[in-house]
Copies of this chain bind each other. A is one copy, B any other.
Amino acid sequence: MESKNYQSLSPRELRAAIRTGEFTGPTVGCCLGFTQINVVILPARYAFDFLLYCQRNPKPCPLLEAMEAGIYEPRFLAPGADIRTDVPRYRVFRGEGVEERENILDLWRDDLVTFLLGCSFTFEWAMMQAHIPVRNIEEDKIVPVFVTNQPCQPAGVFKGNLVVSMRPIPPHQVSRAVQVTGRYPGVHGSPVHIGAPEALGIADINRPDYGSPVTIHPGEIPVFWGCGVTPQDAIMKLKPELAITHAPGHMFVTDRREEEFALA
């Protein structure tokens, strides 16, 4: 089945294949040019605090859409879609417990609030358009991610440290990388930190907390962007009675083209 050319499917077609269970894989390379995003679903009692956490920490937590309680159609990013069935793989957290599922129809409740957050795929796309190297893509690895020693601004019950992804950039392209990704403030935007990993409490740039190390060529500068693991980390710390996210790499594919998130 997965031999089908998922790169060229429309997002609507891909989501239909996900809904029927035909496609259950990771979404890297699917529907090229369309924005893929992170999913967080929480009970309404946490919704204001989580929205506030995103508002206070927009670089690691770039909120693209939030839905009223009980609503499962993301009408801005993907009208007609159903957030309960159209993500290829979900993670369901209940306090300390975690399980994976292919849909959450039986878990749905009228008090669940869905948050859709921008993902680094979009700015990596913009960097590639600008011929800036994206090492994790070149080497087909999961981007290296580090939990820093920098606390985020807490909001209500949510708190945690800033989590960053790292991409090594040749010195003459660092400035361009800032400008190119800065056009996309809705999907992490410009870097949060350039060079000097030790200032973020990173002891060894070749030993990320998540993802894989990538090659850093001599003279390349490690450049750090806010990472979508940041809000997930704050949720994991809270251990709410219920929280649902996409499984890593199994993103929600929207109807919006990457370019639509450029600054207007």
User: Measuring CB to CB, which residues of chain A are less than 8 angstroms from any residue of chain B?
Assistant: 44, 47-49, 51-52, 55-56, 63, 66, 68, 76, 153, 155-156, 182, 185, 189-190, 263-264
CA distance A182 to B182 in the complex (A): 12
Give chain B residues whose Cβ lies under 8 Å from the Cβ of A66: 52, 55
Distance between A237 CB and nearest chain B CB, rounded to angstroms: 18
CA distance A185 to B155 in the complex (A): 22
Pick from B56, B76, B189, B263: contact of A153, CB below 8 A: B76
Further pairs besides A55-B66, A185-B263: 10, Cβ < 8 Å: A51-B51, A51-B52, A52-B66, A52-B68, A55-B55, A55-B63, A68-B156, A182-B263, A189-B264, A263-B263
Give chain B residues whose Cβ lies under 8 Å from the Cβ of A44: 48
Give chain B residues whose Cβ lies under 8 Å from the Cβ of A68: 49, 52, 155-156
User: Do A51 and B55 touch (CB < 8 A)?
Assistant: yes
Distance between A54 CB and nearest chain B CB, rounded to angstroms: 8
Give chain B residues whose Cβ lies under 8 Å from the Cβ of A56: 76
Can you list 17 residue pairs at the A/B interface with Cβ under 8 Å?
A44-B48, A47-B48, A48-B51, A51-B51, A51-B52, A51-B55, A52-B66, A52-B68, A55-B55, A55-B66, A56-B76, A68-B155, A68-B156, A76-B153, A182-B263, A182-B264, A185-B263
